[in-house]
Amino acid sequence: MQKINLAVIYGGQSTEHEISIKSATSVVANLKQEKYNILLIKIEKDGTWYLQNGNDIQTSSNAASVVLLKQDGRVQLLNLNSNTLVHEVDIVFPVLHGKYGEDGTIQGLFRMLDLPFVGCDVFASAACMDKDYCKRLLQDQGIKIAPYRVAYKWNAKQYDFANISAELGTPLFIKPAHSGSSVGVHKVESAEAFEHALSDAFNYDTKVLIEQNIEGIEIECAILGNEEAKPSVLGAIIPQKDFYSFESKYKDEKGAQLQMPADIEESLADEIRRQSLKAFKVMNCNGLARVDFFLSPNGEYVLNEINTLPGFTSISMYPKLWELTGISYADLLDQLIEFGLNRQY
């Protein structure tokens, strides 16, 4: 069987650069070596693309800087150091989180090259990355979301803690509209904390969401497939601190309790899975996504966000949920690559 030339692109220019490297490390470790010629392309924080040496995920010092080039109907890697063609590429797996990775920008590049890739297309990637517009589209189709308001950098002074807390209650959540991994997210209960949180969130984005707090636990559902996508079993995240912050996700092993499968009634689990699949289709997603909800103690739930390129680290929920559903990490990667190759554009 002829091997597939698979380019794994990772790193990137977002605040989630290091998380991307961790995800890529797990992806490469679980790819079936007999099926793929694996080309590792690391995007440094300055935007330079490097073809890594062998399986060296981390070091770029001796790597060749490269670009993707369309020539004679084939996509190839061009070594910019020697101006020579390095390798043909059949499909790309962009293991990139955040800005320039899962926001539709690099997906647009792949589409321009007519190069198959793993994951959601341009529109779904861009729309799901913008928490504001994603919520608008979901709400339009009857999917419940938490009440929120939008602040822009140029009009932020019009938002007063007293007025907005009177409308949405306290505590409030403040989060950048275009970021993941809880970067720049704050839970606030005072005017002083509100001002600080807004200022910090604007370090990451020019648009910020001010959102009503939903008491309860986070429920996550993994979706896999194109036209006939399917949902996984559900997982639950029970924060051991104020909320599921960046530190809780990646630094503090005791920051949250993961419950897989989620300990909720089967009828409710089925309903959340149906809503996850509906949201996936409303946003025109394909390949994969993770749909996150907040579930209150009385059984009511709201959709929090859709992550079109969720974490793929060894402890990430997306691969763990599929392992629990009956698909191993390695087989999951095979299916994702197959969905990318067979997608109808």
Domain boundaries, the chain: 4-117, 127-145+215-342, 148-212
pLDDT at 70: 92
Q: For residues 219 and 270, is the Cβ–Cβ distance under 8 A?
A: no
Residues of the chain short of pLDDT 50, as ranges, are 245, 248-250, 252
Asked if 323 is an active-site residue, the reply is: no
What six digits make up the tokens of 168?
């949405």
d(CA 244, CA 238) in angstroms, rounded, equals 8
- The backbone torsions φ and ψ at residue 74, rounded to the nearest 5 degrees and listed phi first, read -120, 145
The answer to whether 111 is a known catalytic residue is: no
**Residue 314: predicted pLDDT:** 82
Name the active-site residue from 103, 180, 290, 316.
Answer: 290
Contact (CB, 8 A) for 45 and 13: yes
* 273 assigned to active site: no
Is 292 in the active site? Answer: yes
Q: Which fold has domain 127-145+215-342?
A: D-amino Acid Aminotransferase; Chain A, domain 1 (3.30.470)
Q: What angle do CA 262, 325, 264 make, to 5 degrees?
A: 20
Q: What is the predicted pLDDT for the residue at 245?
A: 46
Active site residue 298: no
How is residue 8 written in tokens? 């794994």
Contacts of 39 (CB under 8 A, 6+ apart): 5, 6, 7, 8, 51, 77, 87, 89
pLDDT for residue 256: 72
Task: Give the pair of three-digit tokens for residue 108.
Answer: 């647009």
- Catalytic residue among 307, 318, 329, 334, which? 307
Q: Domain 4-117's class?
A: alpha beta
Which member of 305, 329, 334, 340 is catalytic? 305
Is 235 within 8 Å of 264 (Cβ atoms)?
A: no
- Write down the catalytic residue from 5, 16, 244, 273: 16
Q: How distant, in Å, are the alpha carbons of 34, 36, 88, 199 from that of 5?
A: 11, 6, 7, 45
User: Which homologous superfamily does the CATH classification assign to the domain defined by 148-212?
Assistant: ATP-grasp fold, A domain (3.30.1490.20)
Whether the domain at 4-117 and the domain at 127-145+215-342 fall into the same CATH topology: no
Q: Name the strands in the sheet holding 256-259, side by side, starting at the edge strand that comes first in the sequence.
A: 256-259, 230-239, 217-225, 287-295, 301-307
> What pTM value is reported for the model?
0.92
CB–CB of 152/207 below 8 Å?
Answer: yes
Active site residue 167: no
Instruction: Please indicate whether residue 46 is annotated as part of the active site.
Output: no
Rg of the chain, C-alpha, whole Å: 20
CA atoms within 13 Å, Cβ hemisphere of 298: 4
Reading the block at residue 169, the tokens are 């209650």
307 is catalytic: yes
